[in-house]
């Protein structure tokens, strides 16, 4: 009797597979809403998470989130293409030295909005790190990076997209950072500036 | 040595990463420092950052640990250090979901929220709203209203976004803030404007008139924020879709005017909106397309990607509108971003002419190896539509697909290609031989068992009907020698089909199959033995029933069913060529084993397989964010669910096995006081009408709900099973059992229905009903029983063989003039609907330009009788003429079906 049954299995497995759609590439009408971001992330050059915020339940567990990050990293770390459709979502990204910045949104989201958030994300962190966008500096200023992320996106809503405003809100103690943690070049330029201004002052006082 | 290496590596990359190898427990331990006085802001800030880092890494922190750390953290409110305070807000938000009693910090946060330090206020509001629930919202309402209209943009934005988060749970409270939101939209700050518009729309979204006013007010250039513009465009688009308004609507004018906005973001949003609207003409699309065309040459990859992706969407509906961009798209083929290049090519494939196909295919093949599987699938899908569009190009396309099959790729990708080839073979008879040849070659080296078996099944079905069937047998027999058991078994079945269909190959096939009788695997051996025996009989109807058409069973629990058969040693199972549902089979077998009897198990008592539920569900949610269509795992069919539901009603225990359940049918308008759906369940001698009722009045409770049916001729209402109570908005079911007429040929009828019940008024808020009620009734629409309710669709892959198998004993033939039908397609649609049978051999599709056609239909009639119908249709000036021939295993069934159309 088993003989009679089994051919059927194949017909049905065929039928079932016809309905598996890999990634939905066609758009639909977007529900007008402020919730436009699914995730923000910064990964290092091994694809490890330095910071990641997820704003909806696309990836409910930490395990799923990390798996997603790994896959995304593998797809993006070589080709510097700025934008990719990935697992049915739109991801925009940017990298510098050993850091990778990602902004993830729904595949129906306006790509340019996502890109504007990415720019703000990158630029404000770049300002906070004084253009020194690399892992070491990032980790040294992790508190400010957390605060900046918090000012850019609140629960999936874009809170601020202007890097200057973000930096101003974060209000880090710029002059407060211990000497050892600044690069020599920066210190040099700073000293030069001080020197310059001293010179100016002397000049003006002489002219008076 | 290993140790040394690791140390070195750590030194290299960690380089003193203060967060490397952080232990959750150590960090939690360190939070005790927070209790020290005076507070050292730098030290505590560092510890707090570590804590945030650990949480952000996804470490699982238990409620107790979190609460302890949380309370330690609250001590830090004593410090005035800005960074520390702000880190605390983040800590509160992160821990609000895991720690207990987080509301303890409410008053501290409220102090910060209304305090002097502007840089604390915004973040404090957001932290506060993350720990607030509906009951506490009242106490902070006043402050929230003030914050929304605050002069400091950060405070206002924070209040607006938090209101939106809160409205998920406390819709009613946030609704009262509409005036403040209204005021905030006029803010000069672009983000405040955006957030206020979002909140305003959210509050009013169900009031269409208010939303229309909203759009017309703000569309007159009062907004500064590009984000707010994008949002407004989306609102306008939604309104147009809901009203089904075309390009004449003022909303559309607004969207079009946004194409001239200075921000690219807004321009793109407007273009995308126009493209997505349903009722657009080529003229409406033209300005949007020309904007997208400009974007195609932008230096920004994101802009190019967005543009080409949207153009790709346009090309699906209006390929002609995109042809103007062909030149720009061609330039994008060589884009460094492979996603852009792929989208460009697939768009070109849709818009291009037949002559450009060869060139484009050549270009794609240069970078196929570089793009991700997802995009490869996009390419395959484009090729699939090309195959349908330019049938003459099938050889080029087939060759391309074949070379893709040979390349590396994941299962999904390979499956898509195989599906595409199979679809092409079915659409285009000329491509059949080439396609089968490619598939044969593919299975020679295929690591995916599922695909191999699928292809072998296809070869078994299509191969015997080609001019030279013998050449496929070599490929199939190779599988028997080289592959795993599942593939071998499929190959054996395929060979048997060749033997069953082609007499000249019968002897060779039997020889091959006899060799398989020595196989190491049980299944393969069993199949081979079985087929050899059937084939040796050399009877056409036997091979039709057991080899060519076979059984179609839904996959669910097949193994379980077989297992239970083996376990209980059932020897009496007699099965005929029926299509059964396995869940049903399993249940029937179970029943049989419980009540041992001498009579053999009869497959006819098992319900037939119907389309699995998953088939309907997956399609319903296209394009939703993140909804990558995951296949439904629940394999039980709709009918199996009904069977289970009915079996749970004790009064209906003795009606037998469920034969068929109809689709739910609305017998009230969906907006009325009581909403009723009817589902007809057919059994061998009975029919059960299931009425799913919903009470939409919140001030009433209905008791003892029944549906009174006036029986049509010959039918007899046997029993009514009332629904004991029907509170507001909780669906309940009542059943009416009807005995079918004794005369087997009278099967149709109309039943006027009335809903009867006892009404008890109740308080809408508490739902507490009065003690006394009164009887009332409500007239429903009539329920009709048609021939289709007695018939289950069954696919016969080889109709001719089944036709011969049933034979001409109960054949009936008649000719009808269908004067009301003007096309063959319409006639076919109606015939299928009347008879409820399954069209076979793709005969429901009429080749273009034909004036005559033959339709083949197959199914099972109530009681398990095969029913086959051949309808020859001819189109002439007066309508469609039909010659209907019915064959069945029961004379009355033939009569019922032959008279159904009249």
Instruction: Determine the residue of chain B that is closest to A169 in CA distance.
Output: B119
B654 reaches A (C-beta below 8 A): no
Tell whether the model's pLDDT for residue B371 goes beyond 80. Answer: no
Q: Please, which residues have CB within 8 angstroms of residue B867's CB and are 6 or more apart in sequence?
A: B791, B837, B858, B859, B860, B861, B886, B887, B888, B893, B894, B897
For residue B565, give the nearest of A1, A49, A162 by CB distance: A1
Tell whether the model's pLDDT for residue B22 goes beyond 60. Answer: yes
For position A38, what pLDDT does the model report? 94
| Residue B15, phi-psi category: left (phi > 0), alpha (psi -120 to 50), beta (remainder) | left
For position A51, what pLDDT does the model report? 93
Question: Nearest CA of chain A to the CA of B700: how many Å?
Answer: 35
A29 reaches B (C-beta below 8 A): yes
Compute the average pLDDT of residues B540-547.
Answer: 64
Dump strand ranges (E) for B593-671: 660-661, 665-666
Which of B328, B353, B354 lies closest to B341 in space, CA to CA? Answer: B328
Residue B378 pLDDT grade (very low, low, confident, very high; cuts 50, 70, 90): confident
Which of A87, A34, A148, A143 lies closest to B46 in space, CA to CA? Answer: A143
A49 reaches B (C-beta below 8 A): yes
Question: Nearest CA of chain B to the CA of A206: how many Å?
Answer: 41
B313 reaches A (C-beta below 8 A): yes
Q: Encode pLDDT of B262-300 as tens digits.
A: 999 999 999 999 988 887 888 888 899 999 999 998 888
What is the rounded CA–CA span in Å between residue B453 and residue A14?
9
Tell whether the model's pLDDT for residue B454 goes beyond 80. Answer: yes
Residues of chain A contacting residue B165, judged by C-beta atoms under 8 Å apart: 154-155
Which of B305, B384, B320 lies closest to B352 in space, CA to CA? Answer: B320
Task: Look up the ipTM and state it.
Answer: 0.75
Cβ count within 10 A of residue B205: 16
For residue A159, give the nearest of B83, B161, B337 by CB distance: B161
Structure tokens at B889: 């295993």
For the ranges B32-36, B229-233, B798-802, the maximum mean pLDDT occurs at B229-233
Residues of chain A contacting residue B631, judged by C-beta atoms under 8 Å apart: 16-17, 19-20
A82·B337 Cβ contact <8 A: yes
Residues of chain A contacting residue B82, judged by C-beta atoms under 8 Å apart: 171
What is the rounded CA–CA span in Å between residue A144 and residue A151?
10
Compute the average pLDDT of residues A121-143.
Answer: 91
Task: Output helix, strand, coil percentages for chain A, rounded to the nearest 5.
Answer: 50, 20, 30
B299 reaches A (C-beta below 8 A): no
Residues of chain A contacting residue B294, judged by C-beta atoms under 8 Å apart: none
For position B459, what pLDDT does the model report? 85
Residues of chain A contacting residue B527, judged by C-beta atoms under 8 Å apart: 3, 6
Tell whether the model's pLDDT for residue A87 goes beyond 60. Answer: yes
Structure tokens at B786: 């048609």
B615·A15 Cβ contact <8 A: yes
For position A91, what pLDDT does the model report? 92
Residue B637 pLDDT grade (very low, low, confident, very high; cuts 50, 70, 90): low
A155·B619 Cβ contact <8 A: no
For position A114, what pLDDT does the model report? 95
Dump strand ranges (E) for B424-488: none
Tell whether the model's pLDDT for residue B319 goes beyond 50. Answer: yes
What is the rounded CA–CA span in Å between residue B398 and residue B418?
11
Residue A186's H or E segment, with its range, is helix A184-207
The residue among B800 and A43 whose pLDDT is bigger is A43
Structure tokens at B215: 């759009």
> How do B783-785 and B749-751 pair as beta strands?
antiparallel
Instruction: Determine the residue of chain B that is closest to A13 in CA distance.
Output: B555
B307 reaches A (C-beta below 8 A): no
Instruction: Determine the residue of chain B that is closest to A85 in CA distance.
Output: B339
Compute the average pLDDT of residues B716-745.
Answer: 85
Give the three-state DSSP class for A49. Answer: strand
For position A208, what pLDDT does the model report? 57
What is the rounded CA–CA span in Å between residue B412 and residue A22?
7
B619·A19 Cβ contact <8 A: yes
The residue among B708 and B647 whose pLDDT is bigger is B708
For residue B268, give the nearest of A32, A89, A112 by CB distance: A112
What is the rounded CA–CA span in Å between residue A8 and residue B794?
13
A58 reaches B (C-beta below 8 A): yes
For position B560, what pLDDT does the model report? 42
B523·A2 Cβ contact <8 A: yes
The residue among B376 and A165 whose pLDDT is bigger is A165
Cis peptide before B268 (omega within 30 of 0): no
Compute the average pLDDT of residues B41-61.
Answer: 88
Q: Please, which residues have CB within 8 angstroms of residue B126's CB and are 6 or more apart in sequence?
A: A154, B89, B93, B158, B161, B162
For residue B161, give the nearest of A26, A51, A157 by CB distance: A157
Interface test with A, best of B11, B12, B56 (most A CBs within 10 A): B56
The number of helices, as runs of H, and strands, as runs of E, in chain A is 7, 7
Instruction: Determine the residue of chain B that is closest to A138 in CA distance.
Output: B17
Structure tokens at B27: 């960090």
Tell whether the model's pLDDT for residue B631 goes beyond 50. Answer: no
B119·A155 Cβ contact <8 A: no
Structure tokens at B694: 């919903």
B227·A161 Cβ contact <8 A: yes
Helix axes of B118-131 and B82-95: crossing angle, nearest 10 degrees: 10
Helix axes of B373-389 and B394-406: crossing angle, nearest 10 degrees: 160
Structure tokens at A95: 């990298």
B453·A150 Cβ contact <8 A: no
What is the rounded CA–CA span in Å between residue B144 and residue B110?
10
The residue among B525 and A64 whose pLDDT is bigger is A64
Residue A122 pLDDT grade (very low, low, confident, very high; cuts 50, 70, 90): very high
Tell whether the model's pLDDT for residue B849 goes beyond 80. Answer: no
Residue B542 pLDDT grade (very low, low, confident, very high; cuts 50, 70, 90): low
Cβ count within 10 A of residue B503: 10
For position B844, what pLDDT does the model report? 78
Q: Please, which residues have CB within 8 angstroms of residue B133's CB and are 6 or more apart in sequence?
A: B169, B170
Structure tokens at B146: 């003030």
What's the angle, vertex CA B715, arms to CA B714 and CA B719, rounded to 5?
A: 150
Structure tokens at B653: 């225990």
Residues of chain B contacting residue A4, judged by C-beta atoms under 8 Å apart: 530, 546, 550-551, 575
Interface test with B, best of A1, A69, A144 (most B CBs within 10 A): A1
Q: Please, which residues have CB within 8 angstroms of residue B280's CB and are 6 or more apart in sequence?
A: B246, B247, B274
Burial status of residue B542 (CB atoms within 10 A of its CB: 0-12, 13-18, 19 or more)? middle
Instruction: State the residue for tokens 């009045």.
Output: B697
Instruction: State the residue for tokens 């197959």.
Output: B858
Burial status of residue A193 (CB atoms within 10 A of its CB: 0-12, 13-18, 19 or more)? exposed
Residues of chain B contacting residue A27, judged by C-beta atoms under 8 Å apart: 272, 276, 313, 623
Tell whether the model's pLDDT for residue B16 goes beyond 70. Answer: no
Mean pLDDT computed over every residue of chain B: 79
The 3 state secondary structure assigned to B367-412 is: HHHHCCHHHHHHHHHHHHHHHHHCHHHHHHHHHHHHHHHHCCCCHH
B628·A155 Cβ contact <8 A: no
For position B269, what pLDDT does the model report? 93
Residues of chain A contacting residue B551, judged by C-beta atoms under 8 Å apart: 4-5, 7-8
Instruction: State the residue for tokens 């006036």.
Output: B710
Q: Encode pLDDT of B65-121 as tens digits.
A: 889 888 888 888 888 888 889 899 999 988 888 888 888 888 888 888 888 888 889
Residues of chain A contacting residue B235, judged by C-beta atoms under 8 Å apart: 32
What percentage of chain B exceeds 70 in pLDDT? 86
A180 reaches B (C-beta below 8 A): no
B198 reaches A (C-beta below 8 A): yes
Residues of chain B contacting residue A82, judged by C-beta atoms under 8 Å apart: 300-302, 305, 337
Interface test with A, best of B251, B302, B522 (most A CBs within 10 A): B302
CA dihedral (A129, A132, A133, A138) positive or negative: negative
What percentage of chain B exceeds 90 in pLDDT? 8
Tell whether the model's pLDDT for residue B594 goes beyond 60. Answer: no
Q: What is the DSSP-derived secondary structure letter of residue B547?
A: I
Question: Nearest CA of chain B to the CA of A90: how many Å?
Answer: 10
Q: Please, which residues have CB within 8 angstroms of residue B657's CB and are 6 or more apart in sequence?
A: B584, B588, B605, B606, B607, B643, B683, B684
- Report phi then psi at B45, rounded to 5: -60, -40
For position B647, what pLDDT does the model report? 75
Residue B738's H or E segment, with its range, is strand B732-739
Structure tokens at B431: 């491509």
The 3 state secondary structure assigned to B579-614 is: CCCHHHHHHHHHHHHHCCCCCCCEHHHCCCCCCEHH
Q: Encode pLDDT of B390-448 as tens digits.
A: 777 778 888 888 888 887 777 888 888 888 888 888 877 788 888 888 888 888 888 88
For position B583, what pLDDT does the model report? 53
CB–CB contacts below 8 A, A to B:
285
For position B846, what pLDDT does the model report? 76
Q: What is the DSSP-derived secondary structure letter of residue B12?
A: I
| Residue B672, phi-psi category: left (phi > 0), alpha (psi -120 to 50), beta (remainder) | beta
Contact criterion met (CB below 8 Å) for B678 and B717: no
For residue B301, give the nearest of A28, A81, A110 by CB distance: A81
Structure tokens at B793: 């669709």
Q: Encode pLDDT of B467-494 as tens digits.
A: 888 888 888 888 887 788 888 888 888 8
Residue B434's H or E segment, with its range, is helix B432-444
Cβ count within 10 A of residue B632: 16
Q: What residues 525-584 of chain B have any CB closer than 8 A to a CB of chain A?
A: 526-527, 529-531, 546, 550-555, 558, 562, 565, 573, 575
Instruction: State the residue for tokens 């009278």.
Output: B746
Dump strand ranges (E) for B809-894: 812-818, 838-839, 852-861, 865-876, 879-888
Q: Please, which residues have CB within 8 angstroms of residue B16's CB and are 6 or more apart in sequence?
A: none
In B149-263, which ranges are continuous DSSP H helix? 153-166, 171-175, 178-185, 190-204, 208-218, 226-243, 250-258
Give the three-state DSSP class for B800. Answer: helix
For residue B623, give the nearest of A108, A146, A147 by CB distance: A108
Tell whether the model's pLDDT for residue B364 goes beyond 50. Answer: yes
A160·B191 Cβ contact <8 A: yes
Cβ count within 10 A of residue B168: 10
Residue A10 pLDDT grade (very low, low, confident, very high; cuts 50, 70, 90): very low
Q: Encode pLDDT of B144-187 as tens digits.
A: 999 999 999 999 999 999 999 988 887 788 888 889 999 998 88
Question: Nearest CA of chain A to the CA of B599: how many Å?
Answer: 17
Instruction: Determine the residue of chain A that is closest to B226 in CA distance.
Output: A113
A12·B306 Cβ contact <8 A: no
Structure tokens at B391: 């049938």
What is the rounded CA–CA span in Å between residue B80 and residue A206?
43
Tell whether the model's pLDDT for residue B587 goes beyond 70. Answer: no
Helix axes of B449-462 and B411-427: crossing angle, nearest 10 degrees: 10
């Amino acid at each position: 009797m088993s003989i009679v049954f089994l051919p059927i299995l194949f017909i049905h497995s065929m039928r079932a597979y016809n309905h598996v759609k890999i990634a939905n590439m066609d758009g639909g009408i977007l529900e007008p809403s402020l919730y436009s971001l699914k995730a923000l992330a910064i990964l290092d050059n091994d694809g490890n998470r330095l910071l990641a915020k997820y704003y909806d339940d696309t990836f409910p567990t930490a395990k799923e989130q990390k798996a997603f990050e790994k896959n995304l990293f593998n797809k993006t770390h070589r080709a510097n293409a700025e934008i990719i459709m990935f697992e049915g979502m739109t991801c925009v990204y940017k990298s510098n030295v050993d850091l990778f910045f990602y902004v993830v949104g729904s595949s129906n989201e306006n790509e340019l909005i996502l890109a504007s958030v990415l720019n703000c994300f990158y630029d404000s962190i770049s300002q906070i790190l004084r253009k020194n966008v690399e892992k070491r500096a990032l980790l040294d200023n992790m508190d400010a990076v957390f605060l900046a992320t918090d000012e850019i996106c609140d629960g999936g809503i874009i809170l601020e997209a202007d890097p200057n405003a973000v930096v101003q809100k974060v209000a880090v103690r710029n002059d407060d950072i211990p000497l050892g943690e600044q690069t020599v070049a920066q210190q040099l330029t700073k000293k030069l500036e001080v020197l310059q201004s001293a010179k100016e002052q002397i000049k003006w006082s002489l002219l008076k | 040595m290993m140790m040394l290496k690791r140390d070195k590596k750590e030194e290299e990359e960690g380089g003193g990463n203060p967060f490397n190898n952080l232990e959750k427990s150590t960090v939690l331990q360190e939070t005790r420092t927070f209790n020290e006085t005076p507070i050292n802001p730098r030290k505590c800030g560092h510890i707090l950052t570590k804590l945030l880092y650990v949480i952000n890494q996804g470490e699982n922190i238990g409620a107790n640990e979190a609460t302890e750390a949380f309370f330690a953290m609250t001590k830090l409110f004593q410090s005035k250090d800005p960074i520390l305070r702000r880190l605390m807000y983040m800590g509160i938000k992160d821990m609000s979901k895991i720690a207990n009693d987080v509301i303890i910090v409410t008053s501290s946060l409220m102090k910060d929220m209304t305090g002097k330090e502007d840089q604390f206020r915004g973040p404090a509001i957001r932290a506060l709203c993350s720990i607030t629930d509906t009951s506490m919202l009242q106490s902070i309402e006043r402050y929230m209203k003030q914050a929304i209209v605050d002069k400091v943009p950060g405070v206002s934005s924070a209040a607006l976004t938090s209101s939106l988060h809160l409205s998920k749970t406390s819709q009613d409270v946030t609704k009262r803030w509409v005036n403040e939101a209204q005021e905030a939209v006029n803010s000069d700050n672009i983000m405040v404007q955006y957030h206020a518009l979002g909140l305003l729309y959210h509050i009013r979204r169900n009031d269409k008139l208010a939303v229309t006013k909203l759009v017309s007010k703000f569309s007159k250039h009062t907004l500064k924020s590009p984000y707010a513009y994008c949002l407004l465009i989306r609102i306008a688009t939604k309104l147009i879709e809901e009203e089904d308004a075309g390009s004449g609507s003022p909303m559309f004018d607004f969207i079009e005017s946004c194409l001239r906005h200075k921000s690219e973001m807004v321009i793109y949003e407007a273009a995308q909106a126009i493209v997505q609207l349903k009722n657009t003409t080529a003229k409406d699309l033209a300005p949007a397309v020309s904007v997208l065309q400009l974007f195609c040459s932008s230096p920004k990859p994101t802009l190019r990607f967005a543009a080409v992706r949207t153009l790709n969407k346009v090309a699906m509906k209006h390929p002609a509108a995109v042809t103007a961009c062909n030149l720009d798209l061609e330039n994008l083929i060589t884009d460094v971003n492979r996603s852009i290049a792929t989208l460009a090519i697939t768009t070109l494939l849709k818009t291009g002419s037949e002559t450009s196909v060869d060139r484009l295919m050549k270009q794609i093949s240069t970078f196929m190896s570089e793009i991700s599987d997802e995009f490869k699938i996009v390419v395959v899908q484009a090729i699939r539509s090309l195959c349908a569009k330019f049938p003459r190009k099938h050889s080029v396309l087939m060759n391309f697909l074949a070379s893709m099959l040979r390349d590396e790729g994941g299962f999904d990708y390979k499956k898509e290609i195989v599906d595409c080839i199979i679809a092409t073979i079915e659409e285009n008879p000329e491509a059949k031989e080439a396609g089968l040849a490619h598939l044969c070659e593919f299975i020679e080296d295929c690591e995916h068992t599922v695909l191999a078996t699928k292809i072998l099944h296809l070869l078994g079905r299509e191969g015997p009907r080609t001019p030279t069937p013998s050449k496929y047998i070599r490929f199939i027999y190779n599988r028997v020698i080289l592959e795993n058991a599942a593939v071998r078994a499929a190959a054996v079945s395929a060979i048997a089909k060749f033997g069953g269909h082609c007499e000249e190959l019968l002897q060779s096939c039997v020889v091959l199959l006899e060799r398989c009788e020595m196989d190491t695997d049980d299944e393969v051996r069993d199949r081979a033995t079985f087929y050899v025996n059937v084939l040796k009989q050399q009877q056409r109807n036997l091979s039709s029933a057991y080899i060519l058409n076979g059984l179609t069973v839904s996959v669910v629990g097949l193994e379980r069913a077989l297992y239970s058969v083996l376990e209980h040693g059932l020897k009496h199972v007699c099965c005929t060529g029926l299509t059964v549902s396995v869940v049903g089979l399993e249940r029937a077998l179970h029943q049989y084993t419980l009540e041992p009897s001498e009579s053999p198990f009869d497959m006819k008592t098992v319900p037939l397989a119907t389309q699995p539920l998953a088939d309907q569900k997956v399609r319903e949610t296209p394009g939703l964010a993140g909804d990558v269509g995951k296949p439904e795992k629940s394999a039980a069919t709709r009918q199996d669910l009904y069977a289970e539901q009915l079996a749970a009603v004790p009064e209906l225990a003795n009606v037998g096995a469920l034969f068929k359940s109809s689709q739910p049918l609305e017998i009230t308008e969906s907006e009325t006081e009581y909403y009723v759906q009817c589902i007809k369940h057919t059994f061998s001698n009975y029919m059960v009408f299931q009425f799913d009722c919903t009470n939409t009045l919140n001030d009433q409770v209905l008791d003892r709900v029944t549906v009174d049916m006036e029986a049509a001729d010959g039918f007899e209402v046997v029993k009514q099973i009332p629904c004991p109570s029907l509170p507001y908005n909780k669906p309940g079911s009542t059943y009416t059992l009807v005995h079918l007429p004794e005369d087997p040929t009278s099967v149709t009828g109309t039943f006027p229905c009335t809903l009867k019940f006892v009404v008890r008024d109740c308080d809408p808020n508490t739902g507490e009903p009065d003690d006394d009620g009164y009887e009332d009734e409500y007239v429903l629409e009539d329920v009709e029983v048609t021939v289709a309710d007695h018939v289950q669709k069954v696919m016969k892959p080889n109709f001719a063989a089944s036709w011969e198998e049933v034979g001409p004993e109960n054949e009936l033939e008649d000719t009808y003039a269908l004067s009301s039908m003007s096309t063959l397609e319409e006639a076919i649609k109606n015939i299928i609907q009347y008879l409820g049978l399954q069209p076979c051999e793709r005969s429901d599709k009429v080749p273009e330009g034909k004036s005559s056609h033959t339709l083949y239909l197959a199914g099972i009639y109530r009681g398990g009788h095969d029913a086959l119908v051949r309808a020859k249709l001819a189109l002439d000036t007066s309508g469609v003429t039909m010659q209907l021939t019915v064959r069945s295993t029961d004379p009355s069934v033939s009569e019922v079906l032959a008279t159904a159309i009249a």
